[in-house]
C-alpha cells in the first residue's frame, strides 16, 4: 500500500459503524477467587518482559511488532483483590460459571445462537495489559440480531473474557516505565460485538443503550467508573479505524462525528500533498543543536540540560498542511512522537513560538536547503529515538498519502481522538489448555432461558415505586445507567429522594460551579456521617460544598460544618426567643431574616419554620 | 522433534450449526465432539450430530517461520545446550491452535543482548522427557552428554523440566568428579508458548553463567517475581519450593552462588574454579529409598518399604526424630546392614540427635545423621556413594562434604 499512484485511490464511501461494548460483571473474578472490588490497597510490585516473538508463526502482527520497536518493560503492582493468578504465578482456576451464565443470558436476549460448550482461548496481547501476554476469552453465543428504531442490527458474537490490567502511570521520560495495577485484571467482562450495521452517531447511542439495559437487567453488571467501555469501529472508505475504550455514552456520538471530520480533512491534506508531487524526501532527522546554543527557550534549555538535543528534518511538501485552520498533519505526527515517549514535535507552521526565535528556525532551515513547499519538523530527543522517529514518520506519511487511515485510536474528553497503535492483525488465538471446557448443563440452560430483560421504562417504573422517587428522576437514573450507583447511594443515605437529589442535582451542579470533582470514597464517608448524625439536607449540602471547595476529607468537612452550624437545641432556643419577642404569628420569611441577624452559624430554614409551627 | 509441517493440510469447512451457516477449520474430532476454529479465531466445540458439513476442502497450512539451525553466534563464549526435556521454545500454530514444543533456538538472537558477538551457542537435542519420568538411569545419560559438551565448550546448559530438576542436577554434580567448566540447569515455570514465559530470561542468564569461571553445577531460575534478576543456585543445595511461581527454586541455607541482571553476572559467593579436565563416575546404585516420617507410620510400613533397599533416607520431624515404636525396627535393620539416614522434614536447618532422648536412642539404634543436607539431595548422594565407594565407608563419605551439599555453618 506504499504508493497511492498505481492502484486506484480509495474514495469516500457510505459510513459503516460497528460497536464492541464491554461490561464488567461483579462478584468474583473470572479465573480466581478474588473479588472484583478492591479497597485500593497496593501491595508489592514486580517487573516483566513480554516476548512477542515467542509465539510467532511467521505471521506479521503490526500491533505486536509496533510494541516491539518500543522495547518496553512492564511494571505491575498487586492489590488486595489480586492473587498469584493475576500475577501469572499460578494457573487459572476453573472459570466463574456465574459469569458464563450471565453472558449466555445476554446472548439469548440478543437472539444469538447459544453454544453448548464454552471453550476459552488465549488471545495474544503484548502491550503489557495482561501479565500472561494474552487475554482469556470465550464465545458464548453468535449470529444474533436486535431490533432498533432504524432497522435490525446484527450481533456478531457475545464473549466472556477477562478484563485487562489498569494502567496507573506512564512516565514520559522513561518510555519503558508503564505501571499497571492488578486490581482490574481478571474481572469478568462481557463483550458484545455488532456488525457494521449502525447508521450514524445517534443510532450508535441507541444500540449501546439498548444493549446496556439488557446487561443491567441481569443484575450482575458492575457499575464503577470504568465498568463500561465501548470500542467504535468506523470506516468511510479509508480503512477501518477502531476508537478504543470510550467510557461515556455521550462520547460515542461526539467521537464518531469528530472522526468523520478528521478523516475528511486528512484526505484533503493528502490530496494537496499528492498534487505537489508527494513526499519527495523521506523524513531524516539530523542534529540541529548548534543553531540553538544561545536559545532563550526554556523548553530547549531544559532539554539540553537533560542531555537531549533538537533534531530537524525537511517535511517534504508539507508546508501549510501541518497546521492551519483545516489541516492537522502535525498533530498526527506529534501523536506518533508521543507514542515513542517524546513530548511531541515542533514545526514551521507554528514557529516561531515557545521561546524559539525566527532566526534560530531560519538557521536550521537553511542547513537543510528545503524547497518552497517544504516544512521543517523539529523534535527534541536523543539520537537513537530521533533515528527511530525518522523511519516512523516516513512510513506514517507514506501510509496516510495512500489514503490508508486504518489504525487504533484512543478517545479524548472533547470527542477527538489520538493515535494509539496500528490495528492489530487478525487476532492470534490458541486454546487455553489450563482451563477445562465448560459444558452448559440442562439446569443452567433452563435458568438462562428463563431470563427476560427489562426495558428502560420498566426499569424506571420499578425504581420509582421501590424508592418513592419521581418517575422523571427514575428515568434519568435508568437512562444514564446509574441504577447500581443509586442503589449503593441509597444504602448509605437510607433515603431514595435524597439520593436522587444528590446524584442528579447536587453533585453535578456543585462540580460544574466549582470546576472540581468529588472523590467518591470520601464523599461516601461524608454521606455515612450525615446519615448517622441525622443531618438535614441543608447541612449535608453545606458539608459537601466545604469538601469540594476546600479539598477536605469527610471528617474534616463534617467538623467544619458542625462547628459552623447551629445545633437543633440552639436553633430552638433562638426561634423561641424571637417568637417570644415578636409573637408566634411572625411570618416565616421574617423569622429567617431575624435568625440570620442573631447568628452567623448556618441552619436549615425548614427546620426553623417547623420549630415555630410546633410552638404555636 | 520431527518436523512434519510440510505435509500439514487444513480442513476448511462450510457448515451449519444451530441454524447458522458459516466457514471454519475443522481442528479435530474426539469422542463425538468436533472442534472447529471459526473465522474470528475462536474455537467452538460441538456434538458431531449437531453439525452439518456442507463443503470440505483441504488447504495448505501457512508455513512456520522456523529455523533448524543448531548453531547461533560466532562469539568467544562457547556454550552447549543439552536439551533433555522441558521445552526450550514452543511453536504456536494459530491456524489450528496447536502448540508444539520445538528446539528452535533462533529466538535467542532477539532475547540475548549481543548474543551473536559474544557467544557461540550449540544445541544438542538429546531427549524429551517429562520431569516426572526422569530416572537415575537417565541421570547417567545426562552426565555423559555433559562430559561430551564440556569437551567442546566452555560451559554446558542442560534444559530440564522443573519438577525433578534438583534431583537430576545434584546427581550430575556428584557424578562429575572434575569439571572443566560450569554446568547450568535451566527450566521454566511458564511454558514458552506464552509471551510471559520465564524461559527466555532463565536461558539468557544460563548462557551468561555458562560462560563464567565457575566449576560447579548450578540451577538458573528467577530470583523473584520479576524478570530482572536470575539466581544461580548450587545444585546440591537447591529445592523447588513452590508449585507454580517463577521463583520456585530456593537455595536452602545459603545464598545463591551468583546473580544475573542487566546483561552481566555478579558472583555472590566464591565457588569452585573449573578443573583442567572433566572426569565422571557414571555409576549410581538406585536401591535407595526416601521416606517421610508421619504420626501414623507403622514399623511394618517402614520395614516393608525398606526391603530390598541398601539405604533409606528418613525425613524425620524437627531435629531428626521418629516415633519410639520405630526405634526397635530401625536397630534391627541397621544390624542387618541397612543404612538408615536421618534428615529433617523441616527442609531448612540441621538434624541434631543429641538434644533430646529420642534422638540419642535413634543414634544408639544405628541411625546416620545427615546434618543440614537437604533430604532429596541426601537420597541422590546415597545412590552415588553406594555405587562408587566401599560400603564400609558409606557413613564416613555421607558425612563428608563432596559438592557443597553439606554446610558446616549456616549464617543468620
Ligand atoms: Zn486472584
**What's the CATH number where A359 sits?**
3.30.1360.30
Within a 10 A sphere around the Cβ of A230, how many other Cβ atoms? 26
- Lowest-confidence region among A1-10, A109-118, B216-225: A1-10
Are the Cβ atoms of B91 and A429 closer than 8 angstroms? Answer: no
CB contact under 8 A, B245 and A142: no
Whole-number pLDDT of residue A62: 57
Confidence of residue A56 (pLDDT cuts 50, 70, 90): very low
Mean of per-residue pLDDT scores for chain A: 88
In angstroms, rounded to a whole number, what is the distance separating the alpha carbons of residues B64 and B94?
10
* Inter-chain CB proximity A431 and B43 less than 8 Å: yes
Bridge partners (DSSP) listed for residue A573: none
Burial (CB count within 10 angstroms: exposed 0-12, middle 13-18, buried 19+), residue A7: exposed
In a domain, B412, yes or no: no
Q: Give the whole-angstrom CA distance, residue A456 versus residue B4.
A: 58
Q: In chain A, which residues have their Cβ closer than 8 Å to the Cβ of B46? A: 115-117
CATH number of the domain that B294 lies in? Answer: 3.40.50.40
Helix axes A471-479, A483-493, angle to 10 degrees: 120
Q: Tell me which of A143-157, A358-372, B157-171 is least confident.
A: A358-372
Task: Give the least confident one: A310-319, A472-481, B82-91, B242-251.
Answer: B82-91
Is the Cβ of B44 closer than 8 Å to some Cβ of chain A? yes
Q: What is the mean pLDDT of residues A464-485?
A: 86
Q: B227, B251, B280 — which closes off a domain?
A: B280
Do both A533 and A596 map to the same domain? no
Mean pLDDT of A58-78: 65
Specify if B380 maps to a domain: yes
Domain of B205, CATH number, reads: 3.40.50.1170
Does B2 reside within a domain?
no
Q: Where are the alpha helices (DSSP H) in B196-311?
A: 199-209, 299-306
Q: Where are the beta strands (DSSP E) in B214-367?
A: 217-222, 230-234, 238-240, 249-251, 258-261, 264-267, 279-280, 288-292, 311-316, 339-344
Beta carbons of A400 and A344 less than 8 angstroms apart: no
Residue A91: what pLDDT? 96
B404 inside domain: no
| Nine-digit cell string for A253 | 456520538
Report the SS3 class of residue A394. Answer: helix
Q: Which residues pair with A141 in a beta bridge?
A: A114, A158
Cα–Cα dist A322/A83, whole Å: 48
Residues B28 and B102 in one domain: no
Q: What is the pTM of this model?
A: 0.81
Angle at A122 between CA A117 and CA A127, to 5 degrees: 150
**Among A388, A403, A418, which residue terminates a domain?**
A403
Q: Are residues A497 and A391 in the same domain?
A: no
Chain mean position to CA B223:
16
Is residue B200 within 8 Å of residue A52, measured between CB atoms? no
- For position A5, what pLDDT does the model report? 44
Q: Which distant-in-sequence residues (6+ apart) come within 8 Å of A589 by Cβ?
A: none
DSSP E strands: which ranges in A515-561?
A: none
Judgement on whether residues B254 and B362 belong to the same structural domain of the protein: no
- Compute how many other C-beta atoms are within 10 angstroms of the C-beta atom of residue B42: 24
- B17·A124 Cβ contact <8 A: no
In whole angstroms, give the CA distance from residue A562 to residue A573.
Answer: 17
**Do residues B147 and B97 share a domain?**
yes
Distance of alpha carbon A537 from alpha carbon A502, whole angstroms? 9
Q: What is the pLDDT of residues A99-116, one digit of tens each?
A: 999 999 999 999 999 999
- Is the Cβ–Cβ distance between A46 and A150 less than 8 Å? no
Give the range among A84-88, A242-246, B7-11, B71-75 with minimum mean pLDDT: B7-11
Residues B236 and B253 in one domain: yes
Chain A residues whose beta carbon lies within 8 Å of the beta carbon of residue B48: none
Could you tell me if A339 and A460 lie in one domain? no
Min Cα distance B226 → chain A (Å) is 5
In this prediction, residues B364-368 reach a mean pLDDT of 97
Q: Is B410 a domain residue?
A: no
List B312's β-bridge partners, or say none: B289, B340
Q: Is the dihedral of CA A579, A581, A587, A592 positive or negative?
A: negative
Same domain for A375 and A332, yes or no, is yes
Domain boundary among B237, B255, B280: B280
pLDDT for residue B68 is more than 80: no
Q: Does the residue A267 lie in any domain?
A: no
* CB pair distance less than 8 Å for A124 and B62: no
Q: ipTM greater than 0.95, yes or no?
A: no
For A540-570, the pLDDT digits (tens) are: 998 999 999 988 889 999 988 888 877 778 8
Question: Got the DSSP string for B125-190?
Answer: E-----GGG--HHHHHHHHHHHHHHHHHSSEEEEE--STTHHHHHHHHHHHEEE-SS-EEEE--SS
Helix axes A249-275, A329-339, angle to 10 degrees: 110
Q: What pLDDT is recorded for position A177?
A: 65
At residue B3, does pLDDT exceed 70? Answer: no
B276 CA → ligand 1 middle, Å: 52
The winner for highest mean pLDDT among A228-232, A439-443, B400-404 is: B400-404
Residue A613 predicted with pLDDT over 70: yes
Last residue of a domain, one of B262, B280, B298: B280
Residues with CB in 5 Å of ion ligand 1 = A 32, 34, 83, 85-86
Overall number of domains in chain B: 3
CB contact under 8 A, A428 and B41: yes
Hey, what's the torsion of the CAs at B206, B209, B215, B220, to 10 degrees? -40
Same domain, B249 and B104: yes
Q: How confident is the model at residue B282 (pLDDT cuts 50, 70, 90)?
A: very high
Percent of chain A with pLDDT over 90: 55
Given an 8 Å threshold on Cβ–Cβ distance, is B227 in contact with A48? yes
- Decide if A421 is inside a domain: no
| Together in a domain, B297 and B270 | no
For residues A165 and A193, membership in a common domain is answered with yes
Nearest CA-CA partner of A241 in A413, A419, A414, A69 = A419
pLDDT at A500: 94
Let me know whether A376 and A464 are in one domain: no
- Greater pLDDT, A561 or B205: B205
Of all helices (H) and strands (E), which one includes residue A271? helix A249-275
User: What pLDDT score does A480 carry?
Assistant: 77
Look up the CATH number of the domain holding residue B14. Answer: 2.30.30.140
Which has the higher per-residue pLDDT, B39 or A90?
Answer: A90
Domain identity same for B45 and B78: no
| Residue that is written with C-alpha cell 526450550 in the block | B88
Q: CB contact, 8 Å: A132 with chain B?
A: yes
For A161-220, what is each residue's pLDDT tens digit? Answer: 999 999 887 554 444 567 999 999 999 999 999 999 999 989 998 999 899 889 988 889
pLDDT in tens, B129-182: 888 899 999 999 999 999 999 999 999 999 999 999 999 999 999 999 999 999
Q: Are A29 and A187 a contacting pair, CB within 8 Å?
A: yes
User: Is the preceding peptide bond at B87 cis, omega within 30 degrees of 0?
Assistant: no
The pLDDT value recorded for residue A251 is 86
Is pLDDT of A474 > 90? yes
The helix (run of H) or strand (run of E) holding residue B13 is strand B9-17
Mean pLDDT value of segment A308-313: 94
- Rounded to a whole number of angstroms, the CA Rg of chain B reads 26
The model's pLDDT over A324-353, given as tens digits with 9 standing for 90+, comes to 888 999 999 999 998 888 888 999 999 889
**More confidently predicted of A402 and B67:** A402
| Mean of the per-residue pLDDT values of chain B | 92
Q: Is A413 helix (H, G, I), strand (E, B) or coil?
A: coil
Residue B348 pLDDT > 50: yes
Q: A200 and A59: one domain?
A: yes
**Of the given ranges (A317-321, B72-76, B233-237), which has the lowest mean pLDDT?**
B72-76
- Within a domain: residue B407? no
The pLDDT of residue A6 is above 50:
no
Band (pLDDT 50/70/90 cuts) for residue A55 is very low
Q: Which residues of A touch B63 (CB under 8 A)?
A: 58
Question: What are residue B284's phi and psi, to 5 degrees?
Answer: -135, 145
A174 in contact with chain B, both atoms CB, cutoff 8 A: no
CA proximity to A412, closest of A325, A504, A331, A487:
A331
* Nearby residues of A476 by Cβ (< 8 Å), 6 or more positions away: A482, A504
| Residues of B classed as catalytic | 87, 162-163, 240
* pLDDT at A518 exceeding the cut of 90: no
Note whether residue A350 is domain-resident: yes
Residue A59 pLDDT class (50, 70, 90 cuts): very low
Tell me: do B197 and B83 sit in the same domain: yes
Mutate to test the interface with A, among B25, B45, B48, B195 (most CBs of A within 10 A): B195
In a domain, B13, yes or no: yes
Same structural domain, B140 and B30: no
**Residue A225, pLDDT score:** 57
Same domain as B247, residue B107: yes
Please state, in angstroms and as integers, the Cα–Cα distance from residue B119 to each residue in A400, B199, B228, following that order.
Answer: 43, 18, 21
Same domain, A72 and A186: yes
Tell whether B108 and B82 lie within a shared domain: yes
Whether residue A397 is found in the same domain as residue A510: no
| A443 assigned to some structural domain | no
Co-location of A477 and A599 in the same domain:
no
Mutation site, A165, A426, A431, A437, interface B, largest B CB count within 10 A: A431
CB B24 within 8 A of CB B37: yes
List the single best residue of B15, B42, B188 to mutate versus A (max A Cβ within 10 A). Answer: B42
Taken as a whole, chain A contains a residue count of 616
Contact A389, A381 (CB under 8 A): yes
Please indicate, yes or no, whether residues B176 and B259 belong to a single structural domain of this protein.
yes
> Domain for residue A257, yes or no?
no
Q: Does B286 touch chain A (CB under 8 A)?
A: no
Task: Find the distance separating the first CA and the last CA of chain B, reported in whole Å.
Answer: 48
- Measure the CA–CA gap between A218 and A102, rounded to whole angstroms: 7
Q: Give the rounded percent of residues in chain B with a pLDDT score beyond 70.
A: 96
Q: What pLDDT sits at residue A2?
A: 39
Q: B165 Cβ partners below 8 Å, 6+ apart?
A: B86, B131, B185, B187, B219, B238, B240, B249
Give residue B58's pLDDT: 92
A65 and A214 part of one domain: yes
Q: What is the pLDDT of residue B198?
A: 94
- B199 to chain A: nearest residue by CA? A54
Residue A304 and residue A171 share a domain: no
CA distance B37 to B56: 14
**Residue A606 belongs to some domain of the structure:** yes
Q: How many domains does chain A have?
A: 4
Find the domain containing B238 and state its range: 70-280
Q: Which of these three, A564, A586, A602, is where a domain ends?
A: A564
Please answer yes or no on whether A57 and B65 come within 8 Å at the CB atom. yes
Q: What is Dmax (Cα atoms) for chain A?
A: 97
* Residue A407 predicted with pLDDT over 60: yes
In a domain, B344, yes or no: yes
Question: Which strand ranges, in their side-by-side order, compose the sheet holding A309-315?
Answer: A286-287, A309-315, A375-381, A346-347
> For residue A309, what are the domain limits?
280-403
End-to-end Cα spacing for chain A: 88
Q: Measured between CB atoms, does A113 come within 8 Å of chain B? A: yes
Amino acid at each position: 500500500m506504499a504508493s497511492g499512484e498505481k492502484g486506484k485511490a480509495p474514495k469516500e464511501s457510505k459510513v459503516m459503524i460497528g460497536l464492541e461494548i464491554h461490561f464488567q460483571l461483579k462478584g468474583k473474578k473470572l479465573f480466581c477467587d478474588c473479588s472484583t472490588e478492591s479497597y485500593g490497597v497496593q501491595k508489592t510490585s514486580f517487573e516483566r518482559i513480554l516476548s512477542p516473538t515467542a509465539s510467532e508463526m511467521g505471521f506479521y502482527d503490526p500491533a505486536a511488532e509496533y510494541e516491539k520497536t518500543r522495547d518496553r518493560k512492564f511494571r505491575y503492582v498487586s492489590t488486595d483483590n489480586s492473587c498469584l493468578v493475576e500475577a501469572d504465578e499460578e494457573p487459572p482456576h476453573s472459570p466463574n460459571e456465574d459469569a458464563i451464565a450471565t453472558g449466555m443470558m445476554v446472548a439469548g436476549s440478543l437472539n444469538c445462537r447459544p453454544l453448548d460448550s464454552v471453550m476459552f482461548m488465549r488471545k495474544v496481547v503484548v502491550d503489557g495489559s495482561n501479565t500472561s501476554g494474552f487475554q482469556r476469552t470465550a464465545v458464548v453465543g453468535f449470529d444474533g440480531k436486535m431490533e432498533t428504531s432504524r432497522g435490525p442490527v446484527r450481533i456478531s458474537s457475545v464473549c466472556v473474557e477477562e478484563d485487562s490490567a489498569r494502567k496507573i502511570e506512564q512516565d514520559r521520560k522513561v518510555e519503558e516505565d508503564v505501571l499497571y495495577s492488578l486490581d482490574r485484571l481478571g474481572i469478568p467482562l462481557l463483550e458484545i460485538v455488532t456488525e457494521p450495521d449502525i447508521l450514524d452517531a445517534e443510532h450508535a447511542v441507541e444500540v449501546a443503550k439498548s444493549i446496556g439495559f439488557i446487561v443491567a437487567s441481569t443484575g450482575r453488571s458492575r457499575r464503577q467508573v470504568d465498568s463500561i467501555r465501548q470500542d467504535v469501529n468506523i470506516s468511510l472508505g479509508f480503512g477501518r479505524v477502531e476508537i478504543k475504550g470510550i467510557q461515556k455514552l455521550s462520547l460515542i456520538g461526539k467521537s464518531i462525528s469528530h472522526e468523520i471530520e478528521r478523516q475528511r480533512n486528512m484526505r484533503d491534506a493528502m490530496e494537496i500533498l499528492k498534487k505537489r508531487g508527494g513526499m519527495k524526501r523521506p523524513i531524516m532527522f539530523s542534529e540541529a543543536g548548534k543553531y540553538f546554543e544561545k536559545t532563550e527557550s526554556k523548553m530547549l534549555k531544559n532539554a539540553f540540560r537533560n542531555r537531549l538535543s533538537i533534531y530537524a528534518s525537511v517535511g517534504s511538501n508539507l508546508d501549510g498542511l501541518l497546521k492551519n485552520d483545516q489541516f492537522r498533519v502535525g498533530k498526527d505526527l506529534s501523536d506518533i512522537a508521543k507514542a515513542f515517549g517524546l513530548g511531541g514535535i515542533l514545526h514551521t507552521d507554528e514557529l516561531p513560538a515557545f521561546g524559539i526565535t525566527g532566526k534560530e528556525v531560519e538557521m536550521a532551515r537553511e542547513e537543510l536547503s528545503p524547497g518552497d513547499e517544504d516544512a521543517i519538523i523539529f523534535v527534541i530527543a536523543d539520537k537513537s529515538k530521533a533515528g527511530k522517529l525518522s523511519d516512523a514518520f516516513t512510513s506514517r506519511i507514506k501510509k496516510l498519502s495512500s489514503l490508508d487511515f486504518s489504525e487504533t485510536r484512543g478517545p479524548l474528553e472533547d470527542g477527538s481522538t489520538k493515535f494509539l497503535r496500528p490495528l492489530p492483525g487478525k487476532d492470534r488465538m490458541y486454546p487455553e489448555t489450563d482451563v477445562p471446557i465448560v459444558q452448559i448443563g440442562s439446569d443452567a440452560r433452563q435458568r438462562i432461558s428463563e431470563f427476560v430483560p427489562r426495558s428502560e421504562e420498566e426499569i424506571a417504573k420499578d425504581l420509582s415505586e421501590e424508592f418513592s422517587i419521581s418517575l422523571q428522576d427514575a428515568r434519568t437514573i435508568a437512562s444514564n445507567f446509574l441504577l447500581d450507583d443509586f442503589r449503593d447511594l441509597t444504602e448509605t443515605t437510607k433515603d431514595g429522594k435524597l439520593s436522587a437529589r444528590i446524584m442528579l442535582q447536587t453533585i453535578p451542579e456543585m462540580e460544574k460551579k466549582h470546576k472540581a470533582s468529588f472523590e467518591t470514597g470520601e464523599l461516601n464517608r461524608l454521606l455515612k456521617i450525615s446519615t448517622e448524625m441525622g443531618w438535614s439536607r441543608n447541612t449535608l449540602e453545606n458539608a459537601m460544598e466545604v469538601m469540594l471547595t476546600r479539598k477536605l476529607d469527610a471528617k474534616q468537612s463534617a467538623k467544619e460544618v458542625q462547628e459552623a452550624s447551629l445545633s437543633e437545641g440552639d436553633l430552638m432556643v433562638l426561634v423561641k426567643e424571637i417568637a417570644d419577642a415578636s409573637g408566634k404569628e411572625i411570618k416565616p420569611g421574617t423569622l429567617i431574616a431575624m435568625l440570620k441577624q442573631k447568628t452567623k452559624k448556618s441552619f436549615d430554614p425548614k427546620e426553623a419554620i417547623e420549630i415555630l409551627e410546633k410552638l404555636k | 522433534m520431527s518436523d512434519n509441517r510440510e505435509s500439514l493440510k487444513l480442513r476448511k469447512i462450510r457448515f451449519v450449526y444451530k441454524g447458522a451457516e458459516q466457514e471454519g477449520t475443522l481442528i479435530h474430532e474426539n469422542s463425538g465432539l468436533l472442534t472447529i476454529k471459526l473465522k474470528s479465531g475462536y474455537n467452538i466445540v460441538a456434538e458431531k450430530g449437531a453439525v452439518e458439513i456442507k463443503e470440505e476442502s483441504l488447504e495448505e497450512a501457512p508455513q512456520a517461520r522456523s529455523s533448524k539451525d543448531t548453531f547461533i553466534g560466532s562469539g568467544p563464549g562457547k556454550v552447549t545446550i543439552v536439551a533433555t526435556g522441558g521445552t526450550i521454545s514452543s511453536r504456536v500454530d494459530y491456524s489450528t491452535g496447536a502448540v508444539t514444543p520445538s528446539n528452535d533456538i533462533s529466538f535467542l538472537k532477539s532475547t540475548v543482548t549481543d548474543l551473536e558477538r559474544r557467544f557461540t551457542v550449540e544445541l544438542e537435542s538429546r531427549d524429551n522427557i517429562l520431569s516426572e519420568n526422569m530416572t537415575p538411569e537417565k541421570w547417567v545419560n545426562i552426565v555423559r552428554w555433559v562430559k561430551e559438551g564440556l569437551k567442546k565448550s566452555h560451559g554446558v546448559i542442560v534444559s530440564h523440566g522443573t519438577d525433578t530438576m534438583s534431583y537430576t542436577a545434584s546427581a550430575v554434580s556428584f557424578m562429575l568428579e572434575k569439571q572443566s567448566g560450569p554446568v547450568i540447569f535451566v527450566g521454566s515455570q511458564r511454558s514458552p508458548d506464552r509471551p510471559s514465559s520465564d524461559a527466555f530470561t532463565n536461558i539468557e542468564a544460563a548462557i551468561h553463567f555458562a560462560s563464567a569461571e565457575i566449576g560447579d553445577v548450578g540451577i538458573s531460575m528467577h530470583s523473584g517475581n520479576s524478570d530482572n534478576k536470575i539466581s544461580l543456585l548450587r545444585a546440591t543445595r537447591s529445592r523447588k519450593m513452590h508449585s507454580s511461581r517463577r521463583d520456585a527454586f530456593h537455595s536452602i541455607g545459603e545464598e545463591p552462588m551468583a546473580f544475573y541482571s542487566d546483561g552481566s553476572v555478579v558472583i555472590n559467593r566464591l565457588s569452585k574454579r573449573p578443573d583442567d579436565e572433566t572426569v565422571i563416575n557414571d555409576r549410581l546404585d538406585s536401591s535407595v529409598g526416601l521416606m517421610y516420617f508421619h504420626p501414623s507410620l507403622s514399623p511394618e510400613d517402614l520395614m516393608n518399604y525398606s526391603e530390598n533397599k541398601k539405604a533409606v533416607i528418613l525425613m524425620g520431624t524437627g531435629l531428626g526424630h521418629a516415633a519410639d515404636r520405630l526405634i526397635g525396627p530401625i536397630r534391627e535393620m541397621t544390624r542387618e546392614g541397612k543404612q538408615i539416614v536421618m534428615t529433617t522434614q523441616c527442609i531448612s536447618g540441621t538434624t541434631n540427635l543429641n538434644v533430646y532422648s529420642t534422638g540419642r536412642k535413634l543414634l544408639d539404634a544405628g541411625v546416620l545423621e545427615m546434618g543440614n543436607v537437604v533430604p532429596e539431595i541426601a537420597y541422590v548422594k546415597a545412590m552415588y556413594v553406594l555405587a562408587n565407594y566401599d560400603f564400609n565407608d558409606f557413613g564416613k563419605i555421607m558425612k563428608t562434604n563432596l559438592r557443597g551439599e553439606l554446610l558446616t555453618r549456616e549464617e543468620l
